[in-house]
Amino acid sequence: MNGLRPEIREHAGIYLRGLMMGACDIIPGVSGGTIALITGIYERLVGAIGSVDPASVKHLARGDFASFREDLGNLDIPFLIVLLAGIGTAFLLMSGVILLLLTDHAVATYSFFLGLILASAALIFLEIRSPGAATLAYLAAGTGAGYLLGGLGHFDVGHSLPVLFLTGMVALCAMILPGISGAYMTLVLNQYEFMLAALRALSLPEIFAYIAGGATGLLLFTRGLKYLLKTYPGAMLALLTGLMLGSARMLWEKGSLAGDMVAGGWVFFLAGLVVVGAVEYLKRRYAGSGA
């Protein structure tokens, strides 16, 4: 029994980190990846995700179980299972709370989200080294595209399984982009409240469609997105900043439907700015300590 205690303590620590990541991932504007960095599991998480080989699906489909077992052996399966359990628990616990806030305190909630998003966009732009005219052009293009994207909330595309699949593709791909949360992309695509309700009700078809879309997006687009970020960092970061600034229109419009965003939401807007600032401070402190 004594020999199991260190392992149990390790798993408990991973589970708690998963809870924190899940609580942040379900709130638009705070990235669970940032929490992973602050809590010291980012490199292990990236390594675990990086060891997922799309060829494993081919091995399984062909009946090559020996190769498939070898692929599984390269994965940090206990770590991923415990971490995902923590994230999933947070999703289930937080979904009802956020739905209640959106229903009863819409102005305050959307103002808080707006503060989170604008602060995150500013931090992304500050990552650009030596911005020039081309950077500003990408920023303008991203803002225009984001403004149009933010208007999607006016279109009723429904909540069919294919729509949720595509939303999952976009949202989970956003997780590998600096500063963008998957929850925010789900909100922009007008599926956020529906997915919160699906989580609360444990509606498995909708949840599986969303997750399947996310897994597909990660497998298809991760390498391309990483290549673009590495090869054209300034252009990509400026474009991302613009997308977030432009699409913030949707948060303002949704909140304004419920009340006065200026008089009733400015305190919560400032709170959103402070939260992102605090998370960024902790991230920089962690990175600077080399812990």
Residue with tokens 């999952």: 168
3-state secondary structure string across the chain: CHHHHHHHHHHHHHHHHHHHHHHHHCCCCCCHHHHHHHCCCHHHHHHHHHCCCCHHHHHHHCCCHHHHHHHHHCCCHHHHHHHHHHHHHHHHHHHHHHHHHHHHCHHHHHHHHHHHHHHHHHHHHHCCCCCCHHHHHHHHHHHHHHHHHHHHHHCCCCCCHHHHHHHHHHHHHHCCCCCCCHHHHHHHCCCHHHHHHHHHHCCHHHHHHHHHHHHHHHHHHHHHHHHHHHHCHHHHHHHHHHHHHHHHHHHHHHHHCCCCHHHHHHHHHHHHHHHHHHHHHHHHHHHHHCC
Q: What pLDDT score was predicted for residue 1?
A: 44
CA–CA distance from 199 to each of 15, 60, 104 (Å)? 19, 30, 19
Tens digits of residue pLDDT in 23-82: 888 888 777 777 787 787 877 887 777 676 666 667 677 777 777 777 677 677 888 899
For the stretch 81-92, what's the b/e string if a residue is b when 16 or more beta carbons lie within 10 angstroms of its beta carbon? ebbebbbeebbe
pLDDT beneath 50: ranges in the chain:
1-3
Cα dihedral sign, 184-189-193-194 = negative
- pTM, rounded to two decimals: 0.80
Total number of domains constituting the chain: 1
Q: What pLDDT score was predicted for residue 177?
A: 73
Domain that holds residue 107: 2-289
d(CA 102, CA 111): 11
Q: What pLDDT score was predicted for residue 142?
A: 92
